[in-house]
Amino acid sequence: MRHITVPFLIAAALTLSACSADSDQSPSINSDENSSNSQDSNASSNEDAKDVIGTWEQKIGEGDHKSTFTASVTEEVITVEWDYGSDNDEPLWIGTFDAAKAAKGETVASKKDAGGVDAVSDAMMPDTLDFKLEDDQLKFTFNTDNVSLDVALKKFSDEPKTKNELQNTDSTRSFKDNTLELPTATVKITGHHVIDPGSPGNRIGDKPIIVFDYEMTNKTDKELRTADFSSLFTAIQDNDENSINELKTGFSEYIDTDNMLDKIKKGGTVKSSAAFELDDLTTPVELVAREKYGEEEVGSQTYKLEESTPMDPAPKDEDSSPELPKKKEKDTHSI
């Protein structure tokens, strides 16, 4: 999804407010008016849900401001897409849904699938979004950039356009107690080690290094590799009064590089390590965590160099010659 500008949002809001509820829409399928009399019947609830399950749409605007809202509704999941250009292909919203409850005319508080939507939609949308079936329209309102958009969709198909499975509705983002929690992953720092140049584990470089051991768990079906540590964390030594001193990536022959590009299965946990070159042996190292491809800081923790521990056990014979990491062959592994 491309960046949504304020002028576009304002234009969309004005168009939505002026748009007739019946324009460019097919006749809808009415909700069962008597569904409230059979709340205790599972069979009736399932029948009610069918009135909501399917694809809903609203077309608004003209010319450069023409766009389409589409909602794909299953019994338990709602996916909203906002097509306002040719280069946006990520859903605006994926969240929980109760189709039977919506069919009764009750407001459904959908909880966002923070592990399923892309970073732009995730940052723009709230954690919950209310949907309500009213006057044969599926309605919701969302606010962004101080602009409120009221959307009213009409049903035109009994089949959902898309059938997404929920990934993770826990939107927790934190880095504390050595553990980074994101909707897509958990990364636990299990230890850190300082190694002098020329010592086992750092026999190639000419600067001391700090090595962080970690365990990475994949919470969703999204692609995740232990090598993604470098996009989640920045290491800083605050020893420059004028600028932020971000440490360069280091190398240790103790780090197994063979599995760093392997995909981690959903629910799977893989151990690995990452090295950074130190500029001195006294200034603590701060690990700053950011969500992948995101700019906002999730949290940070400081690691004292004097509290480091030896790497144990050493995966390679200390008397052997260190080897530079080899280029990994083309990945043919699939999950």
Q: For 48-76, what is the HEC assignment?
A: HHHCCCEEEEEEECCHHHCEEEEEEECCC
Among 291, 304, 299, smallest CA distance to 177 is for: 299
Order of strands across the sheet that contains 209-218: 174-176, 179-181, 185-195, 209-218, 269-277
44 membership: H or E segment, kind and range = helix 42-50
Residue 90, pLDDT score: 83
Q: How confident is the model at residue 158 (pLDDT cuts 50, 70, 90)?
A: very high
Residue 185, pLDDT score: 96
Q: How confident is the model at residue 111 (pLDDT cuts 50, 70, 90)?
A: very high
Q: What amino acid occupies position 177?
A: D
Q: Are 97 and 162 in contact (CB under 8 A)?
A: no
Residue 120, pLDDT score: 83
| 19 or 82, which is more confident | 82
Q: How confident is the model at residue 95 (pLDDT cuts 50, 70, 90)?
A: very high
Q: How confident is the model at residue 302 (pLDDT cuts 50, 70, 90)?
A: very high
Residue 256, pLDDT score: 86
Q: How confident is the model at residue 31 (pLDDT cuts 50, 70, 90)?
A: very low
Residue 45, pLDDT score: 66
Q: How many CB atoms lie within 10 A of CB 301?
A: 18
CA distance 157 to 138: 13
Give percent above pLDDT 70 in the chain. Answer: 76
Backbone angles phi, psi at 13, to 5 degrees: -65, -45
The per-residue pLDDT for range 270-299, each reduced to its tens digit, is 999 999 999 999 999 999 999 876 578 999
Using the predicted structure, report yes or no on whether residue 69 has a pLDDT greater than 60.
yes
Using the predicted structure, report yes or no on whether residue 133 has a pLDDT greater than 70.
yes
**6-157 under CATH 1.10.10, yes or no:** no
What is the average per-residue pLDDT within 211-234? 96
Q: Tell me where in the chain the CATH 2.60.40.1240 domain(s) lie.
A: 174-307
Burial environment of residue 95 by CB neighbours within 10 A (0 to 12, 13 to 18, 19 or more)? buried
pTM: 0.78
Q: Are 189 and 178 in contact (CB under 8 A)?
A: yes
Q: Which range, of 134-148, 248-262, 283-297, 320-334, averages the lowest pLDDT?
A: 320-334
Q: Tell me where in the chain the CATH 2.40.160 domain(s) lie.
A: 6-157
> Which residues have a Cβ under 8 Å from the Cβ of 257 and sit 6 or more positions away?
325, 326, 328
Mean pLDDT (the chain) is 83
What is the average per-residue pLDDT within 141-163? 90
17 membership: H or E segment, kind and range = helix 6-18
CATH code assigned to 174-307: 2.60.40.1240
